[in-house]
């Protein structure tokens, strides 16, 4: 006779099934009432990461590791412990905590409104305003860029923002939620991404101590954390776009970008929608992604060494990118539903 599953196993199954609804509810709430750009969460993140740097960084390599672990792993562990405590009391409490944390970490509308405003300005024929909005978003001077380069930046920055604000969070939430740790994965990804960005511009943020090793560690660890999500995002773009061209672009053109994870995402997306991305003439594709940090990427962080195949960016490609991202969101939701169903039945 089959044995009844243990209490812990039943709770893990229940938590895995509820994770699908947590993502669904969080996305719905975020679409209806997104966090404003100036929000208390972002301000507290700056204060937290800055505080750990000031109090635990003395300039040596092992201090850099201490700062990173405290900055990133402490909130991650706290999220896991709070979730376990709430879920043990009642599954609905764990679900509510999942939704709350995902609402704060996904940030779909926190970046998409820039893209929407740029599209609206272009549709209204106000390209000057569209360039001003891109400059505000990316912290780069877009006033003198050729039109195709301007559109390239809009497309590239939107694709990378979609990955970092949606698909990367999806992945790590699903992984750690499947083993009963609730939203800890979402917190891990968001904190690692934020730390890598913060310390890249540490000299301009809150008077933080100068420790190049801390910046290198934060960026290197985030690249490792983002390694698999970036490839899954690229594969998702291929599945919902032109699969053959996306895979060919991935293999042929990913190396054009300095950063592997970004190159894979952008090369696959370029093939999926048939648009030409990359190029060495314009500024780097990864300028500062936050209102708090005033400067864009350094020359050392310049983007692609050449362009992908495809048609030069046109206004119509913005609609193609929107469709690509939304189809990918649906694909990830379907995969999460299958994963949680397997976890429930397994």
Per residue in 97-152, pLDDT (tens digit) is 999 999 999 877 766 778 888 888 888 888 889 898 888 887 777 777 788 888 99
45-69: average pLDDT: 84
Distances (CA, A) of 65 to 25, 55, 56, 62, 154: 36, 13, 10, 5, 35
Which residues fall within 8 angstroms of residue 342, CB to CB, at 6 or more apart?
Answer: none
Which residues fall within 8 angstroms of residue 20, CB to CB, at 6 or more apart?
Answer: 333, 336, 337, 340
Residue 12: what pLDDT? 52
Categorize the per-residue pLDDT at 302 as very low, low, confident or very high, splitting at 50, 70 and 90.
very low
Provide the angle, in degrees to the nearest 10, between the axes of the packed helices 168-177 and 7-32.
160
Distances (CA, A) of 138 to 25, 47, 155, 327: 29, 22, 12, 25
* More confident site: 102 or 12: 102
Residue 300: what pLDDT? 39
Percent of the chain whose predicted confidence (pLDDT) is above 70: 81
Residue 265: what pLDDT? 96
> What phi-psi label fits residue 189: left (phi over 0), alpha (psi between -120 and 50 degrees) or beta?
alpha
DSSP state letter for 5 = P
| Other Cβ atoms closer than 10 A to 260 | 15
Name the CA dihedral angle for 250, 199, 217, 65, rounded to a multiple of 10 degrees. -150
Categorize the per-residue pLDDT at 259 as very low, low, confident or very high, splitting at 50, 70 and 90.
confident
Categorize the per-residue pLDDT at 189 as very low, low, confident or very high, splitting at 50, 70 and 90.
very high
Taking 60 as the threshold, does the pLDDT of residue 317 lie above it? yes
Categorize the per-residue pLDDT at 239 as very low, low, confident or very high, splitting at 50, 70 and 90.
very high
63-91: average pLDDT: 93
Categorize the per-residue pLDDT at 69 as very low, low, confident or very high, splitting at 50, 70 and 90.
very high
Distances (CA, A) of 57 to 64, 77, 296: 6, 21, 25
Taking 60 as the threshold, does the pLDDT of residue 7 lie above it? no
**Separation between Cα atoms, residue 55 and residue 207, nearest integer Å:** 12
Note the residue count of the chain. 346
Closest among 31, 301, 285, 304 to 154, alpha carbons compared: 285
The pLDDT tens digits of the residues spanning 13-50 come to: 555 567 888 999 999 998 888 877 667 888 888 889 88
Which residues fall within 8 angstroms of residue 343, CB to CB, at 6 or more apart?
Answer: 12, 13, 16, 17, 178
| Other Cβ atoms closer than 10 A to 122 | 20
């Amino acid at each position: 006779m089959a044995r009844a599953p243990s209490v812990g196993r039943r709770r893990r199954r229940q938590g895995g099934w509820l994770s699908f609804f947590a993502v669904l509810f969080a996305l719905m709430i975020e679409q209806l009432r997104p966090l404003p750009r100036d929000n208390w969460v972002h301000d507290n993140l700056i204060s937290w990461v800055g505080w750990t740097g000031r109090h635990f960084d003395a300039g040596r390599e092992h201090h850099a590791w201490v700062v990173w672990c405290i900055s990133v792993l402490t909130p991650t562990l706290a999220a896991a412990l709070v979730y376990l405590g709430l879920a043990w009391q009642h599954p609905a409490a764990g679900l509510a905590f999942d939704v709350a944390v995902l609402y704060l970490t996904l940030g779909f509308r926190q970046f998409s409104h820039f893209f929407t405003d740029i599209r609206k300005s272009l549709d209204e024929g106000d390209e000057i305003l569209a360039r001003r909005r891109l400059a505000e978003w990316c912290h780069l001077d877009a006033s003198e860029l050729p039109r195709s380069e301007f559109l390239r930046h809009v497309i590239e920055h939107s694709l990378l923002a979609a990955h970092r604000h949606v698909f990367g969070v999806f992945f790590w939430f699903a992984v750690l939620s499947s083993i009963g740790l609730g939203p800890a994965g979402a917190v891990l990804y968001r904190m690692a991404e934020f730390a890598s960005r913060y310390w890249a511009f540490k000299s301009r943020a809150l008077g933080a101590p100068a420790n190049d090793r801390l910046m290198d560690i934060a960026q290197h660890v985030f690249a490792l954390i983002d390694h698999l999500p970036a490839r899954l995002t690229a594969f998702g773009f291929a599945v919902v776009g032109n699969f053959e061209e996306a895979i060919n672009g991935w293999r042929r053109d990913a190396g054009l970008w300095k950063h592997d994870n970004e190159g894979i995402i952008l090369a696959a997306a370029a093939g999926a929608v048939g648009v030409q991305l990359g190029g060495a003439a314009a500024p780097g594709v990864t300028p500062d992604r936050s209102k708090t940090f005033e400067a864009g990427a350094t020359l050392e962080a310049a983007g692609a060494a050449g362009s992908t195949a495809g048609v030069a960016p046109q206004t119509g490609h913005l609609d193609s990118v929107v469709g690509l991202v939304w189809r990918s969101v649906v694909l990830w939701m379907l995969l999460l539903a299958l994963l949680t169903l397997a976890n429930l039945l397994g």
